[in-house]
Structure 1
Amino acid sequence: MQLTEQGILHIDEEDISTMYCYRDRDGMAFDASFLFELQLQELTLSQGSVRAIQFDFEEEEVPHYEERERLVSEVQSAVRTVDTQYDGSIVK
């Protein structure tokens, strides 16, 4: 994960895979795994810091539509636990 100066939170396939691993292997809720991954990557999000989220996947790595919609929703919810001012914007 990376947060740009413009407030774009980049999340790649490896980040998502790791968070799902925490969920599936360790039984962590997705929000908790997101917060844990932020800690591990030493990334601090504050109020108003996230303006949008961009998922950085190669074309062949893009999850099926239904899975992608669930993933987007889970990530948005997790971001809102840290930055309640995040408005749900996604960079396509």
Structure 2
Amino acid sequence: MTCQHLKEAGEPAPRTAYEDGCPQCVAGGLHDWVHLRECLSCGLVACCDSSPRRHMSAHHDETGHPVMRSYEPGETWRWCFEDELLG
């Protein structure tokens, strides 16, 4: 099962800028992020919901961007916040 958001999500941007951690956490002097995620609407990279500050979910709440993907090496899955579906 999939949703329209997952169908319409663009291709992931090349991984370049944030391989050293969640930029919001690092900017705050924090290094306890767990995994990274990438917004497929704007390319923002942020930490996952297993991280204390859950920056990717906060990004979705602020912008309404519906789909993110794992930014972890070897992982290609996507998540639609709106429909709560894995794709």
Give the alignment's TM-score, normalised by structure 1.
0.33
Structure with higher helix content: 1
